[in-house]
Amino acid sequence: MKLSVTSRVSALFQTDGGLSYSRILRYFYPECITALIIYFLPYCIDCYFICNLKSTNLYAVSGIVDNFLTMFLKAAEGLSIGTVIVAGYHNGLKEYKKAGEAFVDAFWTVIGVGALVSVTLYFMVSAICHFNNFSPDMIDQGIPYLQIKSASIFFMFIYFALVGFLRAIKNTFVPMVVFAIGSVIFVLVDYLLIFGAYGFPQMCLLGSAVASLAQYLSMSVIMFIYLAYTKNHEKYGLSFLTKNISFCRIKQLLMFSIPVLIDKVSIAFAYAWLGSCMSHMGPMAGAAFSSVKLMERFAFLPAIAFAQVITFLVSNDVGGGRWKDIHANIKRVVIMAVLFVGIIVIVGSMWPYVFVNLFDRNREFGHLVATIFPALSILILIDLLQLILSAALRGAGDVKTVMITRVAIIAGFFIPSTYIIAMFPFKTLVSKMLVTYAAFLIGNGLMSIVYVFRLRQKHWKKQNEKVVCDE
């Protein structure tokens, strides 16, 4: 019996084909550092500053609103990916002028979408606050906070449009540096304006929104300066005002962007819906949800990095039909992701107050987080699986499966289940929060089942839609 167990464990870690664990880890480490800088540290520092205002309402407003605005961040990322594909196609053929023209078309398209989103958000801030069931005091704080955030959304779209072009011409270093500079600007302005340090006005929560505006505005300006004063300007013939707009290229951009956009926005909307459900349970539930999500975001940093790695590993193997290597790499990445994330989840479950007390300065909602996070730990690992598998499918060019699966499960399972849960009388707030959050994670588990069946099929085909226009 012992030999049987040992052999099964050995078989789990030993897979023929693919890259070695050490080789995958060499790809993983820089991606993990990047994810830490981009997805966690600035947001975590901002939350820490806000919680030092010792207002649970302000902390809840910040967490719920930022959770809601993540949808538009994902929309900008989706359009950026379309820019990478359309401009990158011509760059790969060394048609540099056409690559520049494609980028200009994409840029103005993204600008138009960003302006529409920003203006719509500005005039809907009151409706958004009521959708999240904010109290009158929270609405007074939330409306101006959201209005300033809506302006930052516009510059965020500009930034991602510019980043898309640099990635299309295989320049990933400059975007990383610019984002690092933007993060430093955000933290500095955030501190100065939230607390009114060194003679600056004390704006409290509004200081965080202004810091976000300063971050994306400065990053956009830096990117414009870089493109204007480097060889890329002449090489690609960049001219934002004199080029004729090609509606054919705009159509191609949207064709590539929309599936990814829907995919990313759908999962972000599910988080926004979950946040709204928690907010309807009161400020304490909203604040506790913000902390649980922050802990989950930290635990998921290795998974986010591994997802980036598996995407480009699969994309490199699909063209050669190396299915054995693909499955071996996916298996190894899943094993390492579970180990890395599992360790963080276990530590967070055993000593939750070490983390929560950093943000619960009034000791009002920490007990909710300390109960909910350990109870959801297993389901969080299941959520990890769908993240890795969906990234593998994207690497294979199968973005439609991910998009359809996410939309179907969110609309057909998660949202209806929240209505059913709301009908039941729960004895405690903890139990209601726990069941609601579990419904979200179970939905992600259902996505994983679909992805597993899809990955077992042998007839993947990379999406080779025509990128060139026939104008």
Residues 253-269: pLDDT tens digits?
A: 777 777 777 888 888 88
pLDDT at residue 458, rounded to an integer: 54
How far apart, in whole angstroms, are the C-alpha atoms of residue 241 and residue 433?
52
**Rounded-to-integer distance, Cα 203 and Cα 195, Å:** 7
Q: What is the pLDDT of residues 24-79, one digit of tens each?
A: 888 888 778 878 877 788 888 888 898 888 888 888 888 888 888 888 888 887 78
What's the pLDDT at 34?
Answer: 75
Q: Are 149 and 209 in contact (CB under 8 A)?
A: yes
Q: Sorting pLDDT into bands at 50, 70 and 90, what band is 8?
A: very low
Nearest residue to 415 via CA among 290, 262, 270, 265: 270
The DSSP secondary structure of 300-359, one letter per residue, reads THHHHHHHHHHHHHHHHHHTTT-HHHHHHHHHHHHHHHHHHHHHHHHHHHHSHHHHHTTT
Residue 286: the pLDDT is: 85
Most confident of 41-45, 245-249, 461-465: 41-45
Burial call 122-150: b when 16+ CB within 10 Å, e when fewer:
beebeebbebbbbbeebbebbeebbbbbb
Neighbours of 319 (CB within 10 A): 9
What is residue 418's predicted lDDT score, i.e. its pLDDT?
93
Amino acid letter, 211: A
Q: Using only the alpha carbons of the chain, give its radius of gyration.
A: 23
Please say if the pLDDT value at position 337 is more than 80.
yes
Q: Which of 337-341, 409-413, 423-427 has the lowest mean pLDDT?
A: 423-427
pLDDT attached to residue 234: 72
| 16 token code pair | 């023929």
CA–CA distance, 172 with 377 (Å, rounded to integer): 35
| pLDDT value, residue 324 | 81
pLDDT at 30: 78
Please tell me the predicted confidence (pLDDT) of residue 320: 62
Query: What secondary structure does DSSP assign to 20-45, as a single string?
Result: -HHHHHHHHHHHHHHHIIIIIHHHHH
For the chain, give the longest Cα–Cα distance. Answer: 76
| pLDDT in the model for residue 440 | 92
pLDDT of 212 higher than 80: yes
- d(C-alpha 298, C-alpha 337), whole Å: 13
408 pLDDT exceeds 90? yes
First-residue to last-residue Cα distance in the chain? 69
Higher per-residue pLDDT: 274 or 318: 274
Residue with token string 């072009």: 165
| Mean per-residue pLDDT, 427-451 | 91
Q: Which of 6-10, 80-84, 309-313, 367-371 has the highest mean pLDDT?
A: 367-371
Q: Are 413 and 270 in contact (CB under 8 A)?
A: no
pLDDT(407) > 80: yes
pLDDT in tens, 190-211: 999 999 988 889 898 899 999 9
pLDDT of 471 > 60? The answer is no
Element (H, E) at 189: helix 173-195
Confidence of residue 240 (pLDDT cuts 50, 70, 90): low
367 has a pLDDT exceeding 50: yes
Euclidean distance between CA atoms 466 and 248, whole angstroms: 12
* 203 DSSP 8-state letter: -
Instruction: Of 163, 428, 141, 440, give the one whose Cα is nearest residue 277.
Output: 440
CA dist., res. 122 & res. 107, Å (int): 22
Q: Compute the distance between CA of residue 89 and CA of residue 400 in angstroms, rounded to an integer.
A: 21
The rounded mean pLDDT for the chain is: 82
3-state SS, residue 246: coil
More confident residue, 78 or 321: 78
> Ranked by mean pLDDT, which of 11-15, 93-97, 195-199 comes out on top?
195-199
Residue 447: both structure tokens together: 């996505």
Q: Please answer whether residues 401 and 451 qualify as being in contact, where contact means their C-beta atoms are separated by less than 8 angstroms.
A: yes
pLDDT of 432? 92
Looking at residue 12, its pLDDT comes to 46
d(CA 225, CA 130): 41
Q: What are the E-state strand segments in 36-190?
A: none
Q: What CA–CA distance (Å, rounded) separates 134 from 126? A: 10
Question: For 255-259, which contacts have Cβ atoms below 8 Å and span 24 or more sequence positions?
Answer: 255/465, 256/81, 256/82, 256/85, 256/86, 256/465, 256/467, 257/78, 257/79, 257/81, 257/82, 257/83, 258/78, 259/399, 259/400, 259/403
- For the ranges 95-99, 223-227, 467-471, which has the lowest average pLDDT? 467-471
Given phi > 0 = left and psi -120 to 50 = alpha, else beta, which region is 461?
beta
Please check the confidence at residue 152 and state whether its pLDDT lies above 70: yes
Tokens for 248, please give them.
């054919």
Nearest to 81 by CA among 248, 251, 253: 253
pTM exceeds 0.75: yes
Q: Which residue in this structure is represented by tokens 């959304």?
A: 153
